[in-house]
Amino acid sequence: MSPEGWLEGARRVESPNCDERPADTEISLLIVHSISLPPGEYGGDAIERFFTNRLDPDAHPYFREIAGLRVSAHFLVRRDGEVVQFVPVLKRAWHAGVSSWRGREACNDFSVGVELEGSDEGPYEDAQYDQLVFLTKELRKILPLRDISAHSDVSPGRKTDPGPAFAWARVLSRLSA
């Protein structure tokens, strides 16, 4: 990890959708998300375009609904395991929205957001689990990450990702080993 918070080996696609974290904020939470654009479709550059405000609203009917949103995540793990980083971990990415974790509001302030290319309905790939575990272990070397949660846990009733197909036991057992 670079001193600025960029993961060595990750492909960097810088997003403007970030800002400074509040002063003296301890980054203690990793939030797992899922995304596919268009919904249910994998591959292509739509996620990267979305997180960099370059999504063409005419390229797909769904894009018209989201083209004006300004969101990002720190990382995206593609289906093949490629890791793309949009925001350095020392900055606040705009990934959790209205959220709360263990009584603390505004999870973006104290979390790292990791998007898995996928959907709530389908399984994730082995390469994605491998990279998520690797990434979490690397982040723990420089950040006091104590918790890992689903987007649905920090935004219940509003979000459902990464969904019931996500194998939490698989990830958590490997992180504790």
> Hey, where are the domains in the chain?
11-176
Residue 33 main-chain phi, psi, to 5 deg:
-120, 170
pLDDT of residue 3: 83
Model confidence at 26, pLDDT cuts 50, 70, 90, reads very high
- State the average pLDDT for the chain: 96
Q: Is the pLDDT of residue 2 over 90?
A: no
Q: pLDDT by residue (tens digit) across 55-103?
A: 999 999 999 999 899 999 999 999 999 999 999 999 999 999 999 999 9
Residue 172 main-chain phi, psi, to 5 deg:
-65, -35
Contact 94, 108 (CB under 8 A): yes
Q: pLDDT by residue (tens digit) across 114-133?
A: 999 999 889 999 999 999 99
Active site residues: 115
Fold of 11-176: Lysozyme-like (3.40.80)
Model confidence at 17, pLDDT cuts 50, 70, 90, reads very high
Q: Report the interhelical angle of 168-176 vs 126-142 (nearest 10°).
A: 40
